[in-house]
């Protein structure tokens, strides 16, 4: 029986799970330790996570505004190619393929393997596990979008079960924690021992140099919020109104999840222990709250967080490759076939295979994890340029559907925040800043080469 749009497409739940899977990776389990060490106050750490969430939600609203006016596969590449200039679109597509999907898939796969093995090193065993998981994800997505989405939904559900177990254990721990209880460790003072909504710490914002320190921490925290635009890459294969809603709803849910998790982290362990724990501080919190059993629960949950990142990115990344192939900027074989019933995009199996192969090759490179901050910066800048399409092509966008004042406001906040994050990169990650600019320029060079080989079919 031939496929129809109804049985190949995915619904709102699957779209939300795809975005959440793309957003919640390893960042939330790492950044808080360093932020607490730099800011010195657990309440300021939560403020930083809240600011990052507001910025991401504004970005989701801006992307939603684009999706409502152009429901096409391909994400930034399509918007910038169609409404700004093909060279700018190709540059964004080039960045999406390299910095948006190929390297991040490899990095997430490596973190998955390392977490399963309980080793912070990229051993041969960790690389083998990463490669195996990438191949499994590629096989599921090669059947069709819906089959891959089912697997992603299941893994996201297991991840939230892990969050729930951890939250319940923390609640029990906090209820039992008291000055007269023999359960309380001697001298135990949690990092967050005052209400974070109190105002006594706001004076820190007037201290010389504090805003620079906060900006630097926001630069790293913002990496945990990237990926909120995941569903926009498959906008041409799902109900048009589902994509904008999925991005905004997912971003709100992830922001709430991050704030709850970080509140629990900071209430259930001491400041000294969290700062000393660095990349593995969550393991220490889990041990403190529920012993080895809860420590294993969180290890599995962290592994699942990376697993869903691979799943989500292998679903959406190949759509960019396929769209660029349809536009004759990449080999046409990568475009996939149209559905014979309604001429909607089919599953780009060859593009999925190529994306998986490229990511597996990078898995075996020792430098992938060192690129994470560069990748986040590059994607943030690319996202700001893409969403600016609402203003650059204002007449066309407004003609399709009038742009509301709150869409303008969200776009202004998102672009302004992106510029501040770039400033943060200039301060603390100068090498990654230059790598980011170099990636953009390389996209223009490759575009020129691709146009040179491109032939008009009438010739």
pLDDT, one tens digit per residue, over 392-412 is: 988 888 888 899 999 999 999
Q: Distances in Å between the alpha carbon of 89 and those of 202, 205, 224, 378?
A: 43, 40, 25, 15
Q: Is the distance from CB of 65 to CB of 400 less than 8 angstroms?
A: no
Calpha distance 13→18 (Å, rounded): 9
Mean pLDDT of 385-392: 90
Q: In the prediction, which pLDDT does 6 show? A: 45
Which helix or strand (DSSP H or E) is residue 168 part of? Answer: helix 145-176
State which of 9-13, 212-216, 378-382 shows the largest mean pLDDT. Answer: 212-216
CA dihedral sign of residues 25, 65, 425, 41: negative
Q: Give the pTM.
A: 0.87
Give the phi and the psi of residue 371 in degrees, each rounded to 5: -95, 0
Calpha distance 267→275 (Å, rounded): 14
pLDDT grade for 215, boundaries at 50, 70 and 90: confident
DSSP state of 100: I
Q: In the prediction, which pLDDT does 257 show? A: 95
pLDDT, one tens digit per residue, over 150-178 is: 888 898 999 999 999 999 999 999 888 76
Q: In the prediction, which pLDDT does 363 show? A: 87
Q: In the prediction, which pLDDT does 337 show? A: 63
Q: Is the distance from CB of 336 to CB of 346 less than 8 angstroms?
A: yes
pLDDT grade for 457, boundaries at 50, 70 and 90: very low
Q: In the prediction, which pLDDT does 366 show? A: 54
pLDDT grade for 128, boundaries at 50, 70 and 90: very high
pLDDT grade for 4, boundaries at 50, 70 and 90: very low
- The Cβ-side half-sphere exposure at 288, using a 13 Å CA radius, reads 26
Q: In the prediction, which pLDDT does 340 show? A: 47
Mean pLDDT of 333-342: 61
pLDDT over 90, % of the chain: 31
Candidate from 115-124, 133-142, 406-415 with smallest mean pLDDT: 115-124
Q: Which residue is listed with tokens 């709102």?
A: 12
Q: Does the structure show a pLDDT above 70 at 343?
A: no
Q: Does the structure show a pLDDT above 60 at 339?
A: no
Calpha distance 25→36 (Å, rounded): 20
State which of 30-39, 91-100, 203-212 shows the largest mean pLDDT. Answer: 30-39
Q: Is the distance from CB of 325 to CB of 331 less than 8 angstroms?
A: yes
Q: Does the structure show a pLDDT above 80 at 7?
A: no
Q: Does the structure show a pLDDT above 50 at 105?
A: yes
Mean pLDDT of 77-96: 85
**Residues in CB range of 392: below 8 A, 6 or more apart:** 83, 84
Mean pLDDT of 364-384: 70
Q: Does the structure show a pLDDT above 70 at 344?
A: no
Q: Does the structure show a pLDDT above 90 at 132?
A: yes
Hey, what CATH topology would domain 5-453 get? Amino acid/polyamine transporter I (1.20.1740)
pLDDT over 70, % of the chain: 88
pLDDT grade for 338, boundaries at 50, 70 and 90: low
State which of 157-171, 214-228, 319-333, 361-375 shows the largest mean pLDDT. Answer: 157-171
192 vs 333, which has greater pLDDT?
A: 192
Candidate from 209-218, 374-383, 387-396 with smallest mean pLDDT: 374-383
38 vs 323, which has greater pLDDT?
A: 38
Q: Does the structure show a pLDDT above 70 at 17?
A: yes
> Which pair of structure tokens corresponds to residue 268?
């259930």
326 vs 197, which has greater pLDDT?
A: 326
* Closest to 34 (Cα-Cα) out of 216, 205, 212, 194: 216
């Amino acid at each position: 029986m031939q496929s129809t749009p109804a049985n190949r497409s995915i619904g709102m739940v699957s779209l939300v799970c795809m975005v959440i899977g793309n957003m919640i990776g390893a960042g939330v389990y790492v950044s808080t330790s360093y932020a607490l060490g730099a800011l010195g106050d657990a309440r300021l750490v939560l403020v930083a996570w809240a600011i990052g969430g507001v910025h991401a939600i504004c970005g989701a609203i801006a992307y939603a505004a684009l999706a409502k006016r152009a429901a096409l596969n391909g994400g930034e590449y399509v918007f910038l190619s169609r409404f700004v200039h093909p060279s700018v679109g190709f540059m964004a597509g080039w960045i999406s393929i390299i910095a948006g999907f190929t390297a991040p898939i490899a990095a997430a796969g490596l973190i998955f393997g390392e977490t399963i093995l309980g080793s912070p090193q990229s051993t041969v065993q960790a690389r083998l596990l990463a490669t195996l998981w990438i191949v499994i994800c590629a096989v599921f997505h090669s059947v069709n979008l819906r089959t891959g989405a089912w697997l992603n939904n299941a893994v996201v559900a297991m991840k939230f079960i892990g969050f729930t177990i951890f939250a319940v254990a923390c609640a029990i721990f906090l209820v039992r924690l008291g000055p007269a209880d023999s359960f309380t460790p001697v001298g135990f003072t949690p990092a967050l021992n005052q209400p974070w909504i109190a105002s006594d710490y706001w004076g820190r914002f007037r201290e010389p140099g504090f805003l620079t320190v906060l900006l630097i921490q926001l630069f790293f925290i913002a990496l945990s919020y990237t990926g909120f635009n995941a569903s926009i890459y498959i906008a041409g294969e799902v109900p048009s109104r589902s994509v904008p809603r999925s991005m905004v709803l997912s971003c709100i849910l992830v922001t709430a999840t991050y704030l709850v998790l970080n509140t629990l982290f900071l209430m259930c362990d001491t400041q000294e222990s969290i700062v000393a724990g660095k990349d593995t501080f969550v393991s220490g919190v889990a041990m403190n709250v529920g012993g080895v059993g809860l420590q294993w629960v969180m290890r599995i949950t962290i592994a699942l967080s990376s697993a869903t990142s691979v799943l989500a990115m292998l679903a959406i990344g190949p759509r960019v490759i396929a769209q660029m192939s349809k536009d004759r900027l990449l080999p046409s074989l990568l475009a996939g076939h149209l559905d014979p019933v309604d001429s909607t995009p089919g599953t780009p199996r060859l593009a999925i295979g190529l994306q998986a192969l490229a990511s597996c090759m990078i898995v075996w490179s020792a430098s992938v994890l060192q690129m994470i901050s560069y990748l986040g910066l590059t994607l943030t800048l690319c996202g700001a340029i893409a969403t600016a399409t609402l203003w650059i092509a204002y007449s066309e966008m407004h003609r399709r559907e009038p742009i509301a004042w709150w869409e303008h406001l969200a776009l202004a906040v998102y672009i302004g925040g992106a510029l501040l994050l770039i400033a943060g990169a200039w301060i603390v990650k100068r090498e990654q800043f230059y790598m980011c600019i170099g990636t953009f320029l390389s996209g223009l060079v490759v575009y020129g080469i691709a146009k040179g080989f491109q032939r008009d079919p009438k010739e």
